[in-house]
Chains A and B, each alone.
Chain A
Amino acid sequence: MKYIKEFRDGKLAQKLALAIRQEADPGRRYHLMEFCGGHTHAIFRYGVQDLVPQNVEYVHGPGCPVCVLPVRRLDDAVELALKTNVILTTYGDMMRVPGTKQKSLIRAKAEGADIRMVYSTQDALRIARENPQRQVVFFAIGFETTTPPTAVAILQAKAEGLKNFSVFCNHVLTPPAIAHIVNAPAEPGEAPVKIDGFLGPSHVSSVIGCTPYEPAARDFRKPVVIAGFEPLDVMQSTLMLIRQINEGRHEVENQYTRVVTREGNRKAQKLVDEVLELRRTFEWRGLGYVADSALKIRETFAAFDAEERFALSPKESREVKSCECPAILRGVKKPTECKLFGTVCTPDNPMGACMVSSEGACAAYWSYGRNREAVAAAKGAAA
C-alpha cells in the first residue's frame, strides 16, 4: 500500500532507533506527550517504546474524541434516542461507550431505540432523504479532522431543503486542549503531569495547518512536532523533539509534510467557519470545562441544530466508579494503574471509553502491551 508500507519499514526503524539513542542525553528524561490516540496505537502496535531508550517516555494524551466526550453528552444522545421518535445516526465508535449506569447506545438500541451506525455524514443524509416522515439526528463527535464532513452535511441539507435532518454537535478543538494540559493546575492529590514536548496531531493538522499550535509552543516553551501516524513518523518526530529539547528550542515543526501544510486545508476551514462557531466553554472527560474548546452550530443554521429542535432534560450524569479514564486522559496515570484494567474492564466488557475506542489508551495497552511489563521482568530475571 503506497504511503503506508514504506513508513513501516523495520530496517529503517532500527536505524532511526540508533539515531535516537545517540542523540538522547542519558543524563535527562524526555517526557513526550503524544496527543493523538492514533500515535498511542502506533507506539504500542509496533513496539516503538521498546526501540527508544528508557529515558524517553511517551505520555498518552487526550486525543481520542470518543474518550473525551463527557458522559452527560452521551446520556443526552441516549435520551434523544429513547424518548423521542428520532432515528439517531452515529459513528460506530460511540455505540458501546457506557453512559450513566452503563447505559450505552447499543443498550438503548436493544431497548427499541432506532439507532443506526453510519460510516459517513453522507449516509446520515441518505437516511433522512429515505425517511421524510421521521426526524433524523446525526450524533456529531470528533476533532477538527471530523468536523468538516459535518459542516458539509449541514450545508447540503440546507441546499436540498431537508426539513427532517439535524445535528447534535459535539465537535472539539485540539489547540485549547494542549494549552489546558500544560497550564491547568494539578487535581488535588495528583502530581502535575510532566511534559517536555508534544507529538502534535496528524490529520487534525491536515485541516487546521501548523500555526494554531504556535501560541502554546511559545507561551509554555514546549516544542511541538506534528507527526504522522505510521511508526517511522513517530520515531522521526521523537528524534526531532529530542533535538529541540537538547538545543533549548520550542518551535512548531512539521514532520508529516506529505499531508500537512502550514496553512492547512483552507476550503475545509471556510466551510466549517460558515456553519459552526466557538462555544464559550465545553466539558471534556478528564479535563473538565475548557474555554473556547468546542464548536456549536451558528444561529443561521439553527434549524439543523438538534439542541434547538429537541428539549433535553438536565441530568445527574455519573462515570463508572473507580474508572481511571479521566486521569489517564490527563496523562497522569497509565491504564495499568487502574484497578479495573484487564479485570472487570476489557474490550468485551468495557467500563470506560478509553477501553472501547480503537484509539483509547486502555485499548492500546490491552491489545499490544498488557504483558509488556511481565515480559520485561521475566527477561530481567533471566539475565
Chain B
Amino acid sequence: MCLAIPARVVSIDKDDMATVALEGIRKPVSTALLEEVAVGDYVLVHVGYALHKLSEEEAERTLQLMAEAGVLAEELEDMAGEPAAGAGA
C-alpha cells in the first residue's frame, strides 16, 4: 500500500496533472500534493499521485555514505589480517 515508485516527469498537463515516464511506460499522475514541479524532476508516485520530489544530491550522498562505511569495514578487516568474526559462518 505504501509502495511508491520514482518516475521522471515528462510533461506538465492541465488541472494539476502531469505525465511521468518509467522504463518506457507513460502514466498520468496528479501533482496536487506538490508545491512545484518541472519537466525532468523525479517524483515518487503513489496511487496515482506524485507524493514528493526526489533529491539527486541526497541520493548521491547516501550512496557515498554507504560506500564509505564499506571501505572502512574492508580496511578494518585488512588490518585484522583475517576475516572478521562471523564472516562466512
A, B from the same assembly: yes
User: Which A residues are CB-close (under 8 A) to B5?
Assistant: 4
Task: Please state if A120 and B52 are interface contacts (CB–CB under 8 Å).
Answer: no
Q: Is B4 a contact of A145 with CB atoms below 8 Å? A: yes
Given the known inter-chain contacts A152-B32, A206-B52, A357-B1, please indicate yes or no for A2 contacting B47, CB distance below 8 A: no
From A146, A358, A359, residue with most partner B Cβ within 10 Å:
A146
Chain B contacts for A233, CB-based, 8 A: 62
Chain B residues whose C-beta falls within 8 Å of the C-beta of A36 in the assembled complex? 2
Are the CB atoms of A146 and B22 closer together than 8 Å? no
A271 contacts across to B, CB distance below 8 A: 32-33
Residues of A within 8 A of B35 (CB): 266-267
What separation, in Å, do the CA atoms of A16 and B44 have in the docked complex? 26
Is the beta-carbon distance between B32 and A236 smaller than 8 angstroms?
A: no
CA distance A50 to B86 in the complex (A): 12
Bound Cα distance from A233 to B55, whole angstroms = 15
Asked if B13 is an interface residue, CB under 8 A from chain A, the answer is no
A239 to B23, CA, bound (A): 32
Q: Which residue in chain A gives the minimum CB-CB distance to B6?
A: A3
B66 touches A265 (CB 8 A): no
Q: Is the CB of B55 within 8 A of A18?
A: no
Task: Report the minimal beta-carbon distance from A268 to chain B, rounded to whole angstroms.
Answer: 5
Chain B residue with Cβ nearest A202? B2
Q: State whether the Cβ of A57 lies closer than 8 Å to any Cβ in chain B.
A: no
Which residues from chain A contact B54 at a C-beta distance below 8 Å? 3, 258-259
In this assembly, does A255 line the interface, its C-beta being within 8 Å of a C-beta of chain B? yes
Cβ–Cβ < 8 Å partners of A19 in chain B: 69-70, 72-73
Which residues of chain A have C-beta atoms less than 8 A from B58's C-beta?
257-258
Q: Are A21 and B1 within 8 A (Cβ)?
A: no
Whether B69 pairs with A143 at a CB distance below 8 angstroms is no
Q: Assess the A145–B66 pair: CB atoms within 8 A.
A: no
- Contact for B3 among A12, A14, A229, A267, CB less than 8 A: A229
Give the interface size bracket for A toward B: 35 or more
Q: Within the assembled complex, what's the spacing in Å between the Cα atoms of A167 and B8?
A: 31
B39 CB within 8 Å of chain A: no
CB of A16 within 8 A of CB of B70, answer yes
Tell me what chain A mostly uses at the interface: helix, strand, loop, or mixed.
helix
Taking a contact as CB atoms closer than 8 A, the residue among A21, A37, A265, A359 that contacts B86 in the complex is A21
A331 interface residue, CB < 8 Å from B? Answer: no
Task: Please tell me if A204 contacts chain B, counting CB pairs below 8 Å.
Answer: yes
A-B contact count (CB 8 A): 158
Chain B residue at minimum C-beta to C-beta distance from A264: B52
In the bound complex, residues from chain B placing their C-beta under 8 Å from that of A121 are 47-48
Q: Is A98 an interface residue, CB under 8 A from the partner?
A: no
Residue of A nearest to B52 (CB): A206
B9 CB, nearest partner CB in chain A, Å: 13
Decide: A4 and B6 in contact? CB cutoff 8 A.
yes
CB–CB A12/B66 < 8 A: yes
Please tell me if the beta carbons of B48 and A123 are within 8 angstroms of each other in the complex: yes
Neighbouring A residues of B63 by C-beta, 8 Å: 6-7, 12
Chain B: which residue is nearest A3 at the CB level? Answer: B6
B1 touches A122 (CB 8 A): no
A16 contacts across to B, CB distance below 8 A: 66, 69-70, 73
Indicate whether A22 sits within 8 Å of B73 (C-beta atoms), given known contacts A123-B48, A145-B46.
yes
Least Cβ distance of A243 to chain B in Å?
Answer: 10
**A297 contacts B by Cβ under 8 Å:** no
Docked CA distance A91–B47 (Å)? 9
**B73 in contact with A15 (CB, 8 Å):** yes
Contact with A along B50-71 (1 / 0, CB 8 A): 0110111011011101110111
User: A206-B52, A258-B58, A258-B59 in contact; A120/B2 too (CB < 8 A)?
Assistant: no
Q: Give every chain B residue within 8 A of A232 (Cβ-Cβ).
A: 66
Chain B residues proximal to chain A, CB less than 8 Å: 1-6, 8, 22-23, 30, 32-35, 42, 44, 46-49, 51-52, 54-56, 58-59, 61-63, 65-67, 69-74, 76-77, 84-87
| Chain A to chain B: the 7 pairs with minimum beta-carbon distance, closest first | A15-B70, A120-B48, A19-B73, A3-B6, A258-B59, A18-B73, A258-B58
9 contacts between A and B (CB under 8 A): A3-B6, A16-B69, A19-B69, A37-B2, A142-B2, A146-B2, A207-B51, A257-B61, A258-B55
Extra pairs beyond A201-B2, A203-B51, A266-B35 (13, CB < 8 Å): A6-B63, A26-B86, A66-B1, A123-B48, A145-B51, A146-B47, A149-B30, A206-B52, A207-B51, A255-B62, A257-B61, A258-B56, A358-B3
